[in-house]
Chain A
Amino acid sequence: KNQVEQSPQSLIILEGKNCTLQCNYTVSPFSNLRWYKQDTGRGPVSLTIMTFSENTKSNGRYTATLDADTKQSSLHITASQLSDSASYICVVSGYGGSQGNLIFGKGTKLSVKP
């Protein structure tokens, strides 16, 4: 069964600290993996999209890594800011799948405290 598991479910860190969110998936075959940021009361916004041939991709203070062999991805946030408080959702697409073939994780809720 195609699944996307994220950990931890929630995380609290102090402003300025770094953190890493994890995503494990069982989707096969695999096409791409994306990380979304969802602020409270808003729709998800894409941070990164990585294909199976990409190991890392950055978007400002956000760096995503992908290990297609172990089917693991991580999202590293550097020098966290209060505005990073949000849910982060990992989404995996199967190879050759239609645009509707996205498997969503349940997200990690990050709280950045001053």
Chain B
Amino acid sequence: DAGVIQSPRHEVTEMGQEVTLRCKPISGHDYLFWYRQTMMRGLELLIYFNNNVPIDDSGMPEDRFSAKMPNASFSTLKIQPSEPRDSAVYFCASSSAGTSDSYEQYFGPGTRLTVT
């Protein structure tokens, strides 16, 4: 398996522009997570899906952020309008429920977003 795939790997945009980040989870995984990582705050969960349905979006910072999962193999995280404080590395991760509570989350390589 190719693992979790994210695109683009790097994104530089100007303040006010719309940004769309993309994720393809590992085939067969039924959970998908979006995280944001900064030096100051570390890794933070933004939102996660189970079987394409959003379960918890309490980590989404504000209405400028939205996420969708139209099917089991694709998800997007959109920021509109973007602001300099959104600059961070955004990770997508996926996992399978399995039969144990000790599920494993597999992370993608991340998208480094810079908003100028």
Binding site for B on A (CB under 8 A): 31-32, 41-46, 49, 51, 89, 93, 96, 98-100, 102, 104-107
B110: A residues at CB distance < 8 A: 41-43
The number of residues on chain B lying at the interface, defined by a beta carbon within 8 Å of a beta carbon of chain A, is 25
Residue in B31, B41, B50, B101 with the greatest tally of chain A CB atoms within 10 Å:
B101
B93 within 8 A of A: yes
Of B44, B91, B95, B109, the residue contacting A99 (CB under 8 A) is B95
Q: Does B108 contact A (CB under 8 A)?
A: yes
Q: List residues of chain A with CB within 8 A of the CB of B4.
A: 43
Contact of B102 with A by CB under 8 A: yes
Is the pair A45, B107 in contact by a Cβ cutoff of 8 Å?
Answer: yes
Complex Cα distance A42/B43, Å? Answer: 13
Which residue of A32, A43, A98, A107 has the most chain B CB atoms within 10 A of its CB atom?
A: A43
Residues of A within 8 A of B109 (CB): 41-43
- Kindly provide the distance from the CB of B116 to the nearest chain A CB, expressed in whole angstroms: 20
Known A100-B33, A100-B48: A43·B55 in contact at CB below 8 Å: no
